[in-house]
Amino acid sequence: MMNLETLVKQAPTEIKKEFFYRDFKKGSLIISPTQKIEHLYIQIDGITEVYNQNMAGSFFLYSVDEGYTCFGEVELFYEELKPLNVFAKTDCRIILLKKESVIRWMKLDFEFNMLLFRYMALKLNRNSDKMAQIAFMTVKDRVLYSLFTHHKMGDLETLSKEQLSIEACAPLRSINRAVSRCVDEGFIGYLEKRFSICAAEKIEAYLKEILE
């Protein structure tokens, strides 16, 4: 099966004419859950981070994707499904392709169909694996995970202990103990009811180890 890079480079001329190239700066939001997906997003350069949200409202890192990949392939054909948050971890270049052009490409190239189906299956499996991993984390680890995710999404200052309790699926008493441990271990700060991150690289390494 051809990879996405090969398919993009060998796309039919009439499809290539429909490619709209867009550059996203590091830290910018590429896709949000509030927007309607009307294009297939084909990442051709850079690194992106994708975040999902569980039933409790907690965001978790769904994937980190480098180089060629795509987003919106499911939402494009199922409008009731909300897209995930996609952020540019580095400067990124994305090809936007309208739904009508995607369908036309699918009719012209069976390999492109197969690749889209493969991405859909991969993402569904990845999502269930991530949810299972987080479910077995300790309260402290879920708290740290939630705090770090909000830090990366840029809304940590608005996070309350009550919301953290909901996201980490733990009573407030347990949240207080977990927060105290994280402060004592130098991961985070908590002052005047506001959280802050003290050691981002240390947290990232710690979470990577427990989620592998």
* One pLDDT digit (tens) per residue for the chain, 212 residues: 679 999 999 999 999 999 999 999 998 999 988 889 999 999 999 999 888 765 555 566 777 788 899 999 989 988 888 888 899 989 999 999 999 999 999 999 999 999 998 888 877 776 666 666 766 788 899 899 889 888 877 778 888 888 888 777 788 899 999 999 999 999 999 998 899 999 999 998 988 887 76
Dist. CA 66–CA 50, nearest whole Å: 11
CATH H superfamily, domain 4-134: Jelly Rolls (2.60.120.10)
Dist. CA 43–CA 64, nearest whole Å: 12
Q: Quick one: pLDDT at residue 123? A: 75
Q: Quick one: pLDDT at residue 58? A: 59
Look up the CATH architecture of domain 137-211. Answer: Orthogonal Bundle (1.10)
List, in order, residues 6 or more apart from 153 with CB less than 8 Å away.
Answer: 51, 59, 85, 87
Domain spans of the chain, in order of start: 4-134, 137-211
Is 86 in contact with 123 (CB distance < 8 Å)?
no
